[in-house]
Amino acid sequence: MTVILTQAFTGVSIGAVLLLIALGLSLTFGQMGVINMAHGEFIMAGAYTVYMLQGPIHSAGFSLLVALPVAFAVAGAMGVLLEWLLIRRLYTRPLDTLLVTWGVSLMLQQLARDLFGAPNVHTEAPDWLSGRVTLIGGDDPLTLAHARLFILGLALAAVVALTLTLRLTPLGRRIRAVVQHRDLAEASGIPTARVDRVTFLIGSGLAGLAGVALTLVGPIGPTMGTNVIIDAFLVVVVGGIGQLKGAVIAAFALGVLQSVLEYSTTVSVARVVVLVAIVAFLQWRPQGIHTVRTRSLA
Amino acid sequence: MTAYLLKRRTTLAGYALAAPLLFAVAPAAMSDFRLEQLARYLCFAIVAVGISLAWGRGGMLVLGQGLFFGLGGYAMAMHMKLADAGAGNLPDFMLLYGSTDELPWWWEPFRSPAVALAAVVLLPMALAAAIGYAVFRRRVRGAYFAILSQALAAAFAILLIGQQATTGGTNGLTNFGGFFGFSLHDPVNRRMVYFIIAGTLLALMLLTRQLFLSRYGELLVAVRDSEERVRFLGYDPALVKLGAYTLSAGMAGLAGALFVPAVGIISPALVGIVPSIQFVIGAAIGGRASVAGAVLGAVAVAWAQTTLSEEFPAGWTYFQGGLFVVVVAFLPGGLASLWHLATRRRRSRAGETGRVVAAA
């Protein structure tokens, strides 16, 4: 029994990481249709923000909390710059956007190598995140790491905040209007170019938040973006575009699947099986879990 | 019509020039070391031919060619390892890791040279056909297809690293003694390998060019430009795309197989995401829709990578990334489209209205 619960919780915490790294993408890719391969490097920028802030701020806990808004701002600024320089010229050519942003990601990785060195760097985890909560005691205990709970909380908070922003604020209304019908939104007086930029800012900023969270569970290095970007895209592809709901379900489903398979086989076999499962799933629902009905032929 | 003939004549002239360059001038003028490097670049160029077919003409952004390159490479490497070990013996690396006493069942067929040679092309093609059939039939395309193909390459690399006892893990398979009975320590035999690679490349280029000119080539471009319209005309776009994707996988597999005797190694670092995108970068910079453009781009990028990255490792990455960004964003046809632009301008100045094949 405990084994199942442990696996389930490991799955949920893998899912929370997946959700955080994919949330920004589900906004930029899912809503705007922009394939930003440099998203992984925005995550990296968030992680290095924590590393940089631990120099001047000695308390590991305080620096982590400060890093959250700072990383959002840093990654968001990078996103806006990228959107303004390149992506806005390529809105009609999605595949070329993919390649262009991949070139940008190459350069950002090299920049990280030049600034921080090629080896991974380490950050201190705060004391209040290093312990574990014991849910079931006894011979076969079920314990949950504080860091994992923190990531889960952060992921859920980000989803709620993003949903509320999209549903309730004037900005969210404008974003949804542009996504649903760009021409009509423009005719109604919505400055679509500016809305695009703000959407991209939020999406990239969320990548920064994910980077902060990743410092708690993995190494920080120039290639960390490449390691997560594929998983992030797969979550969005499985989740289906246009709604956050699909991404949330997909992240947790893939997380649990991965953890269960890792338990019964090895990490590498589990990854391959998950991929095959995704291809099989797309046979059944090519548009992902959550589909938006349109009259397009695709 | 005259424009078509003119274009045809310049292309033939190009091949007539390339053949003696590859077969006579390069082997005579280059040292053994440089020639082996050229052989390596030409292997990448073979992959680029397939990319120009699937992506340039078919519109399928194949970001996972490393998967097929690796399948071909490992199939060939497994045969060469077994041939080196001799009948009944285990390959040296398996003894080194000491985790298996007997040969895994899936190694066994590769003892036979005929099976290995067939597997080099058929294995990637069969896998591509299976993936392609599943994916294209459900009309998964565009970015979805690109991400899926990239994920498959990543999974393959992870699988290889994870199964160290039977695949050599991160180190891959290396230290080969012979190639179908010919010793690879003999420089003459290594030159032979170069000639085989150059011959394969030229043959595949001509074949692909002929395919572009055929009715199938026209249909493929039509599917790229408007899949729905082709469907309404009564064709099945999924089958059209499947053909191009499968062929490009076969070419990548062949390239991987030739890479092994030429360079002497195949490892997960050659099949994952990064090499897969490197393949596409060369084709994109040179010109995705033209065979010659993709090939020249692949060779130039690989050459520049080796030469420039030795001297300026950091600067090279910025330059490559920057060039790639600028070419894809502002010159989608690649550098080959500069040629088309120039000829079109000359022709329009002469008052002639020739049909110019646009490099999309």
- Tens of pLDDT, residues B42-97: 999 999 999 999 999 999 999 999 999 999 999 999 999 888 888 777 888 887 77
Q: Is residue B127 part of a domain?
A: yes
List the single residue in B with minimal CA-CA distance to A285: B138
Helix/strand/coil percentages in chain B, nearest 5? 80, 0, 20
Q: Which tokens sit at B187?
A: 């420089």
Of the partner residues B134, B144, B152, the one whose CB lies closest to the CB of residue A237 = B144
Chain B from 104 to 133: CB within 8 A of any A CB: 131
State the Cα angle at B151 between B116 and B321, rounded to 5°.
100
Is the Cβ pair A98, B135 closer than 8 Å? Answer: no
Number of compact structural domains in chain B = 1
Is the Cβ pair A272, B325 closer than 8 Å? Answer: no
pLDDT tens digits along B255-301: 999 999 999 999 999 998 889 988 998 899 888 888 888 999 999 88
What φ, ψ does residue B264 adopt, rounded to 5°?
90, 15
Q: What is the pLDDT along chain A (298 residues), one digit of tens a residue?
A: 677 788 888 888 889 989 999 999 888 887 777 889 899 999 999 999 999 998 888 777 888 888 999 999 999 999 999 999 988 888 888 888 888 998 999 899 999 999 998 888 888 778 777 777 777 766 667 777 888 889 999 999 999 999 999 899 999 999 888 888 888 888 999 998 899 899 999 999 999 999 999 998 888 999 888 888 888 888 988 888 767 888 899 999 999 998 888 888 887 888 888 888 887 887 777 777 766 655 544 4
Q: Is residue B120 part of a domain?
A: yes
Q: CA-to-CA distance for B8 and B355, rounded, in angstroms?
A: 13
- Tell me whether A92 touches chain B (CB under 8 Å): no
Element (H, E) at B183: strand B182-183
Q: CA-to-CA distance for A247 and A269, rounded, in angstroms?
A: 24
Closest Cα of chain A to B171: distance in Å? 16
Range of the domain at B285: 2-349
Q: CA-to-CA distance for B333 and B285, rounded, in angstroms?
A: 8
Q: Is residue B289 part of a domain?
A: yes
Q: CA-to-CA distance for B244 and B217, rounded, in angstroms?
A: 9
**pLDDT tops 90 at residue B217:** yes
Residues A212 and A71 sit within 8 Å (Cβ to Cβ): yes
Chain A from 211 to 240: CB within 8 A of any B CB: 226, 230, 233-234, 237
What ipTM was estimated for this complex?
A: 0.82
Q: Is residue B49 part of a domain?
A: yes
Q: Which CATH architecture has domain A2-284?
A: Orthogonal Bundle (1.10)
